[in-house]
Amino acid sequence: MFQINELVVYPAQGVGQIERIQSQVIGGMTADYYIVRILSNSVTLMVPVSNAANVGLRHVSDEPTGLAVFESLKDRSEFTGYTGQNWNRRYREYSEKLKSTDLSDVAYVLKELFLIGMDKELSFGERRLLEQAMTLVSMELTYALGRDQAVIKAEINDMFQDVILKQQEKMQKIK
């Protein structure tokens, strides 16, 4: 399924590179494992070849998917916000979405947390989730779109900075 040196995505960890495929005897059984080094933090993972799809190991999104996800960040039409939800429930929901095999789920968390941050200060846990979502989305978009991660992060921040500035202007007019 995957080849040595291929870039892959492991849910909640991000983009990694398959360094090698090795056989190991664990519990008396021999199995093949992908040895994946996560690029953002150099963590090394052993992923059973036979179970790679079940744990969510997948190819990096292609350019059209990356562009669609990038564009989806701009769309605020379906933002429901945090009305009626306590932070603990949101935290659990967002934590699960960060483990998703679908980049659009991770981008959803990023967008929601940015937009929630417009109206209220994010809790420490929410800020950590925002940072994790930003890292996961920007890293994958870097490879999907063939652009620098710092540029991707800046563009995403600019996307939401405009919204925040507009919100602040509205608040100024109300006062």
Supply the pTM of this predicted model. Answer: 0.86
Q: What are phi and psi of 5, to 5 degrees?
A: 75, 0
pLDDT band for position 104 (50/70/90)? Answer: very high
Distance CA 173, CA 67 (A): 36
* CATH number of the domain bearing residue 162: 1.20.58.1290
- Please give the residue that has the higher pLDDT: either 118 or 3: 3
Handedness of CA 67, 73, 77, 78 (dihedral sign): positive
Same domain, 22 and 98: no
CB atoms within 10 A of CB 105: 17
Nearest to residue 66, comparing CAs of 21, 30, 28, 102? Answer: 102
3-state secondary structure 1-30: CCCCCCEEEECCCEEEEEEEEEEEEECCEE
Same domain, 107 and 166: yes
Same domain, 88 and 150: yes
Alpha helices in 3-148 (DSSP H): 63-74, 87-98, 103-119, 124-145
Average pLDDT, the chain: 89
Same domain, 169 and 154: yes
For residue 20, pLDDT beyond 90: yes
Which two structure tokens, joined as six digits, stand for 164?
A: 């925040």
Same domain, 162 and 92: yes
Same domain, 83 and 113: yes
Percent of the chain with pLDDT over 70: 89
Q: What are phi and psi of 148, to 5 degrees?
A: -70, 140
Q: Is residue 155 part of a domain?
A: yes
**CB-side neighbour CA atoms (13 Å) of 60:** 25
Percent of the chain with pLDDT over 90: 65
Same domain, 69 and 144: yes
- Structural domain of residue 37, as residue ranges? 7-59
Same domain, 32 and 104: no
Same domain, 100 and 20: no
| Residue 174: exposure state from Cβ atoms within 10 A (0-12, 13-18, ≥19) | exposed
For residue 27, pLDDT beyond 70: yes
Q: Is residue 2 part of a domain?
A: no
Number of domains making up the chain: 2
Q: Is residue 157 part of a domain?
A: yes
Q: Is residue 167 part of a domain?
A: yes
Q: Kindly state the average pLDDT of the residues 47-71.
A: 94
For residue 170, pLDDT beyond 60: no
Same domain, 75 and 143: yes
* CATH number of the domain bearing residue 51: 2.40.10.170
Q: Is residue 49 part of a domain?
A: yes
Distance CA 40, CA 132 (A): 11
Which position has the token pair 């483990």?
A: 99
